[in-house]
Structure formats: structure tokens, C-alpha cells
Structure 1
Amino acid sequence: MQTFQRNIEDKVYKALEDDLRENILKGLLSPDKPILTEPELEVKYKISRKSVRKAIQNLCDEGLLKKTQGKGTFVIPPADRLKTNSRKNLKILFLTSAFIPGEKISSEYEEALVSGMSELAYRMNWQLSFSLIDNLSIRDITSQYKDSKFDGIIWDNTHSSHNKIISSFMGNGIPQVLIDRYLNNVCSVYFDHHTEITDTVSFLASLGHKRIAFINSDSGEIVYKEREDAFFSSLKNLNLKNDYYFRISHLKPFNEFKVLSSALNPPTALLLGGHSFLPPFLAWAGSRKLRFPEDISLICLDDSWLAKTNNPPISVYAEPRNEIGKQALTALERLINGQMRPGEQIRIKGDIIARKSCGLPKK
């Protein structure tokens, strides 16, 4: 019972702490006036005074807040924050299979991710270095950690083949955070793909669509299985048919595209499972003179330059990669300083951006 109660207390103060930290780092709380008082935060978040004080004290310890007797609790300005932050010399190693900064960024998604991490690292005066996963040596990385060359690792674009390396680093006590991956006892920051699908299906259903198709990747990665489960669950909850689900290869998508138009009752809306499917689908749709949304409404998972500039612009469910980068860096800093438990997970939600490719179903 005591353990259960402690877990509840951890969650309630952490929600307040995370909200305040995010608003501070985004510049939404001014250093010129105090934040809400402890009684006001207690009422707003419906938590105990003890939990409020714990959250505020943690942020004071991080060098983000300061208490001024008789006046309140204030945000420390960014310039002064660097002087007061006791962890200003934090050194982070970012491992990825996607790119090497300065040479090539594989997509605008990695670019946004690195941008968010770099922005926060600059604000906090942390050192951020990069390396390709394929170039690393377990022995060299472990040796560098023991020699205090870095304090922790953030992983991106990992696969199941990297699990052995991650486990080896865990055995050597190296703090690690995974982006968009799930692995027991390793902290992770990942996009909420379940909410991504349920929100998108609900959005299309709210426009009156009852025949919704979903083109998903046939990759064995867990993210695509999570999307699949969420899609069928959403259809069931909304009493919609599940006749229009396709798993296709990124290399040969055209056969499944043809099925959409050959069905006796073709779908009125299409959910495209990733920006990599958008160029071939638009090429195929153009060859058939399909119009959006007159012939079919189209929404894509992940925003992209093509989605923004297409005529008409394509509706998307946007993944906040910039924010994911910041949260991953913050999570690692907290893990290093004992403020986050190994295996803890942070889910980040995105938003629907409704553009001209979605409309009411064709009558």
C-alpha cells in the first residue's frame, strides 16, 4: 500500500514539474513576475501542498526557479540560468543511424529533432556531440564514459539489432534515453502513435466519412503494429467497417493503391501512414486524375515540405520532433541526476493540421 501511494505522489508532482519546466524552457513564464503561488498551484493541479513544494524545489535545484522571501518564486532568466545551473557542464552523446550533422541530414524530421536538442543544449550550456551508430565501438564508448568524456547517451533511429549494444551500456552503468523505441529498463521519449491514429480517425468521422482506408507500412517495427491496433480499435468504437486496411512495402506501393479504386464501395477518405508514401501516392493519384477532397479526402501521418506545398495542401497529423528532441535531452539530464527512474517513458502528442485535402464525403 505504501509503494502504491508513493507511485501516485510521484506522478502528481511530476505532472506539475514537467508543465512548469516546459513553460520555462519555451519562454512562456516571464522572469519579471512570480509564478502562481503554492495554494494556487495546489488548486489548479488538484494536488497536495507537499507535491507542489517538491516540484518547485526540484526546479530550483535545476537552476530554473528561485525563491525570493516575501515576493514569491521567480523564473531565472536564461543568461543567469547558465551561471546558477549546477549541471552546466553536462556532456551528451547523440547516437543515430540517420545522419552526421554537417554532412547530411536524412530528412526534415531528423533536422527538427536535432534543432530542438541543440536549442536546449545552447540555453543550458551543455555540450552535444554526434556519432553514427554504425561507427561506434562498444569498448571505445564504454572507455570514453569511464574517462568522463560524456555523461550519457541519446539514441535515435535504433532497431532491434542495437538492443545488445544498449544492454551492454546499461551493464556498464551508462545513462541512456531512447527516442521512439521501447526497451525494458531504458528511459524513452516517444510519439504517441495510438492517439495519433484515434484522433485522425475521429477527425475524418466527424466530417461524415464512414469508409476510411488506412495504408500502413508492412515493416515489423512496433510503431506500425501500434498504429494498426489503434486503427481497428477506433473503427470498432465508431461502428465503422474495417474493409480498407492495407499493409504495403515502401518499395512497391502501387498495387495497393489500385485496390482503392477497384473496390465496389471505394473509401471516401484515406489515411496515409507516413510521408514516404506521399510522393508515390500523389504520382499515382495524378495519373488517375483523382482530386482532393472532391474524389477522396486525404490526410497523411507526418508533416513534410511536400504536404505543405502540394496543390491542394495535404492535411497531416504533425509529429512535434523539435519538442521530442528537447524532452529527450531533459529526460537524460534528469536521469543522470537521479530525478528519473530507469525505464520511465514520456509520451508526446501531436496535432492535426487541417488543410484543403480534407472535406465532406462525396455524395
Structure 2
Amino acid sequence: MVSIVIPVKDNWEYTELCLKSIFKYTDSPYEVILVDNGSRNPLLEKLLKLKNRNPQVDLKYIRSEVNLGFAGGCNRGIELSRGDFVVILNNDTIVSPGWLSGLLRIFEKEPKMGITGPRSNYVSGPQLIRDCPLHFKNPSDVDLEKLSLYSESFKRENEGQYVKQDFVIGLCMCIKKEVIEAIGGFDERFYPGNFEDDDFCLRTKLAGFEIAMACDTFIYHFGEKTFEGERFDYKRTLLENLMRFMEKWNIDQVNEKGDLYRKVLRRRLIPTENLIYPLFKDHPYILLEWNRDEEEVLSYLVKHFRLKSLPVILTTKEDPEKVMMKTQELLGNLNLLDDPNINITILKGETSQVLNEFKGKFYLFRKLKSENSKAHEGSHVIQVFV
């Protein structure tokens, strides 16, 4: 049996849709453990009504009067779990036909497998499906038939495929109970969320287990609904938990060394290689060398609001006016042209010069191809959006 643990903080309409999709599309024995993580209005009454309409479902409810954070909520649910596997699932997800069997199948083939995760429309790293055609604004906008048809087509194209990874994201993690018995639950210092999944995966790997992405399994994800509902500052929380992660693992300098700790930092925010994360200061920036690849990176950053309100500096050897027009077009296509939170500055010149001027203040930037590149004299600065 599989125990599906869902931490919830308000947002019942998303939770109800998630639960209904589980009831409809889960093809393996399971129990659902819903952790009410300090919702303003307890969810028990609504859950009982849903249970009465689905009496066949093994459904448990536990409530905390305060928000324990994602890690704390997961741990309370894990304590009640009876399954040989525990699935940690975000409440703003919609599962698809055969999702659970797709995650479990890998364990049958790989005796050392400890965690599996799906592909999704809204997730960082290699799990992201870049060309996913599905986009639902809210639960009332969801077309389950459309989602089902897409997921079944996706499964046929990728049937049986999986890729071993160092990490999977916490929107959906299928964990062998043996892993939890070996390393414990999620580290609750990462409050309210971010990096607890990285930390858990890191400990899993260090304990000798493997992690894989199920390439044929799709789960729809709305994304960050608890953060929005609670009005948490996503950027601030991300940075604070980054510091906690670095302090826990004694990372005093971030570079391109190929160890697990730095793999977390390199891949955490955007799905691209060759990113390095220096120790950030009080006022960090994002620095990108502008080229065709960076258009895609910038698009991802603003589209998913992962680093909303962090200043972005684009360095270019092109005409800054042309880059400004391309940037405006990109933001216009995303309906973000007038967003006051987006701050982009274009600098003409070599990246090395900018690095010297802003030394130690970058949160992330592209690694230079040559550390000996010469600075361009007379850099021209254009403020695009302030």
C-alpha cells in the first residue's frame, strides 16, 4: 500500500480538485493522509462531505492549529502512514491516469531506488516539460478530459522510460519507507518551504539510495498557491532557506565542484546547466550574458515568478537598443510588460567588467567561458524597467 501525504493550508478548491483526481486516477492500493496545516477554517467538515461521496477511499485527517511549514506538515503525515511507500504531494496538483503505478514501477526494476518523481508543467530542473500545452488559471478552468488525453499521449511517447537523478522536486515525491526509516523525515528548519526537498534528497543519496525521474508520468501543477495564499515573500523565503542549507552543509564557498551540495545550488531555480551561485549579499542581482539561450532563461525567470523583484542585469555585445526591444517583446508576450516588480538593466560590455564592479553581490550568473576575457572600455548603460 502507498500512503499519500498532502499538507494543506487553506485553498480548499485546489485541495478538493487534487483529491478528486486521486480518487479518479489512482490504480494502486492507497490511503490519503490530509494534514490541515493551520487553515483559518478547519477543513474536516468539507473533507467528511467528500468522504461520504467516496466511501471506498481510506482517508485520514490531522490538524495543527499553527502552520508547521511544508516539512513539518509532511512529517506529521508520515507519522500516521502505514504504507510501504509514502508519496508527498502538493495540494495544488492534479494527478493523471496511471500516475502512481508509473512512479512505483521503477522500484521494481531498481532495488536501490529510494525516491521517484514525475514530469510536470510547473517545476524547476529536468522534470519540467517545456512545451506542455496545458494551462489552467484556477480549478474552475480545469478540463480533466483534456488533461487525461494529454497525459495518456505523453505516457505512450515515453512508456517505461526513467532517468536517474540526484534530486527530484517536492511537488510529488514517491519515497520508499525504508529511506525514511534510515534518514528520518524532512528537516523542519526549512520553514515555511524551499530546500527541504533538496536536503531530503541529498541525505537519501548519502545513505546509498538512488533517485529517478519517471519520464512517462505527468502531474499538473498550479504552483506556489500556499505561498500566494499566505502572502509569503517567495524570494525572501528562498534566500533565507538557501542560507540555512549552506550553513547546515558547511558550504563556505560556492563553485563548480561536482559534489552533491553544490549540485543543489546550481540547479535549484532554473532548468539550465552552467549556472553557479556565489554567496549572496544583502542586495543580490541576477546577471545574464544576453544571447539566444538567455532569452529562454529570462523567459523562465519572469514567467514562473521564481525571482520576482530581484534586479536582473543583462550584459551584451549587441546594440543595447535592440536588446531592449527584444526584452520588451518577450515581456509583452508574457503580459508582464507593465509589471512594476520586474527590474531589468542592460549593460553593453564584457561580463567580467560587471563582475568586478559588483563583486560578491550576485545571486546567480552564467559562468564565463574565459576568466581572462578583457573588459570593454566605455560601457553604455540603459535602464529598461525601474
TM-score by length of 1: 0.27
Bigger Rg, structure 1 or 2: 1
More strand by share: 2
More helix by share: 1
TM-score by length of 2: 0.26
